[in-house]
Chain A
Amino acid sequence: MIGRALLVLGLALLAPLAVADERFIVVQSTTSTDNSGLYEWLLPQFTAESGIGVRVVAVGTGQALRNARNGDGDVLIVHARAAEEAFVAEGHGVKRHDLMVNDFVIVGPRADPAGLLESGGVNDALKRIAEASVIFVSRGDDSGTHKKELALWRAAGLDPASGDGGWYRESGSGMGATLNIAIGMDAHTLTDRATWVSFGNKGDHLVLVEGDTALQNPYGVILVNPETHPGVRARDGQIFIDWLLSPKGQAAISGFRVYGQQLFFPNARRTN
């Protein structure tokens, strides 16, 4: 009986190898695009048209870039422009294309103890947070949102490290986990709007700071360089990128709605 059980399990082990001929690409992606449901909306449209399956590994931008540096992925969709350009310059990526934008917001408790609702822009808001020493939860994970947050503190002339462990707390986790922590601690955090709008555990939190041009959140798409990483499925990856940047793909991005709200705004340039 045990022999038969082992045989069945052995076959189960081999099963995944049997379907390996299927045509697909692997996309290393930031979490916001996945958590908001954008891919569930977008990818079936692409797959129906092209016959190419898209397997998304959704991690932070920092980890997505690291995985792609090892050649583990064919296409990158992330949001940290400087890091993306460095990735291409090092020869790991072919070219960075503008894909779409959305924006960051600072969410916090309804009571708004630091008076952020009356703040004049994000610089002022961050100063109010530091002065009032209200708790701010940072991603602390080298993600696109974390890089953006650090840049915002720098632009405001502040060093949050002075409050590290006190009012400034690094979660070292993804956006969703960080939001759960911020809500649990009655704290503030920086999040992309897409993750926030589709987030299911908002508690009594709301958007306190938004609309500053400094809060723009541009997403780029990059084909991992097949010359550096020979295993890359470059042809199908390029077909996917071409589709995303085409009028059809861009219209599909515009068409994505959560609770009736558009979360991503396409901005591919029709140059190349």
Chain B
Amino acid sequence: MGDAIAEAFRLIAVGDAALWEIVSLSLRVSLTAVALACLLGLPLGALLAIARFPGRSVLIVATNSLMGLPPVLAGLLVYLLLSRAGPLGPLELLYTPTAMIIAQTVLVTPIIVALSRQVIADMHQEYDEQLRSMGITTTGAVLTLLYDARLSLLTVALAGFGRAAAEVGAVMMVGGNINHVTRVMTTTIALETSKGNLAIAVGLGLVLMLIALTVNGALMALRGTQGVARHV
């Protein structure tokens, strides 16, 4: 463990070019996937919270269950889709960062939908009468609630980011862990472990945790300033 901590510090201190390439690709892939998942998932979550339509409870149970989608299964499904033998084969997206973004978006979207639905549903109970008396449409209500819940939804996005940044099964399968092209933090940790370089693997793990800490800290700070602004 001492070796691993030393290795983590060495990796950061040296500013290893290969490390930064991997870290920046990890961030690019996971942040893009979370952004896309929010774009799709937040309106859907809000709609599920507010609107009443047949099949709604089935959809809620389905998205809640999909939070447990195994990354390797998501990876396999996206692989079958993007493979040259698959329906989207001609796009030549397999083994590219784009494929990894798609797979992580599939993984993260249910989390965003399920958690945001809960957040909005709670808030909607409070706001329902008011919104109704103002004669606001469903679309209007969705937008209002999403805006008012934005701080809680930040935590929802963070949960999604945690899932995306931590998973290895999906990006390994559709990215292929190709050096300089699709190698990210988690696939590098898996690779170094398989080479028996355990200290480097744990060192990389510590760097990954440090990144998660930085992202969370930055958002917490953002949240702090927002909270203050609201009370002024």
Residues of chain A whose beta carbon lies under 8 Å from any beta carbon of chain B = 5-6, 9-10, 12-13, 15-17, 20, 26, 31, 35, 40, 55-58, 67, 69-72, 174-177, 179-180, 198-202, 229, 231
Contact = CB atoms under 8 A, between A and B. Distances in A.
Contacts of B178: 26, 55-57
Interface of B: 28, 31-32, 35-36, 39, 83-86, 89-90, 92, 94-98, 101, 176-179, 181, 191, 193-198
B35 A72 contact: no
B195 to A, nearest CB: 5
Contacts, number: 85
Contacts of A176: 193-196
B84 A231 contact: yes
A16 B96 contact: yes
Nearest to A196: B196
Contacts of B31: 9, 12
A177 B193 contact: yes
B194 A31 contact: yes
Contacts of A35: 191, 194-195
Contacts of B84: 70-72, 229, 231
A110 B93 CA distance: 48
Given A12-B28, A231-B89, A201 B198 contact: yes
Nearest to B96: A16
B83 A17 contact: no
Nearest to B38: A6
Given A55-B95, A231-B90, A202 B32 contact: no
B194 A177 contact: yes
B170 to A, nearest CB: 15
Contacts of B181: 55
Contact of A174 (B28, B92, B95, B194): B194
B194 A175 contact: yes
A16 B97 contact: yes
Nearest to B83: A70
B198 to A, nearest CB: 5
A23 to B, nearest CB: 13
Given A58-B177, A72-B95, 16 more contacts: A10-B35, A12-B28, A13-B98, A16-B98, A55-B95, A67-B83, A71-B83, A175-B194, A177-B194, A180-B193, A180-B194, A180-B196, A201-B198, A231-B89, A231-B90, A231-B92
Given A6-B35, A56-B179, A72 B94 contact: yes
Nearest to A224: B84
B196 A57 contact: no
B196 A70 contact: no
17 contacts: A6-B35, A10-B35, A12-B31, A12-B32, A13-B98, A20-B96, A26-B178, A35-B191, A57-B177, A71-B83, A72-B85, A72-B94, A180-B194, A200-B195, A229-B85, A231-B89, A231-B90
A5 B176 CA distance: 28
Contacts of A202: 196
B197 A201 contact: yes
Contacts of A57: 95, 176-178
A176 B192 CA distance: 9
A22 B151 CA distance: 42
B61 to A, nearest CB: 30
B32 A179 contact: no
B58 to A, nearest CB: 31
Interface centre among A12, A16, A69 (most CB of B within 10 A): A16
Contacts of A231: 84, 89-90, 92
Contacts of B90: 231
B194 to A, nearest CB: 3
Contacts of B98: 13, 16-17
A175 B101 CA distance: 28
A31 B191 CA distance: 10
Contacts of B195: 35, 176, 198-200
A13 B32 contact: yes
Contact of B198 (A31, A55, A71, A200): A200
Contacts of B92: 20, 231
A20 to B, nearest CB: 8
A4 to B, nearest CB: 12
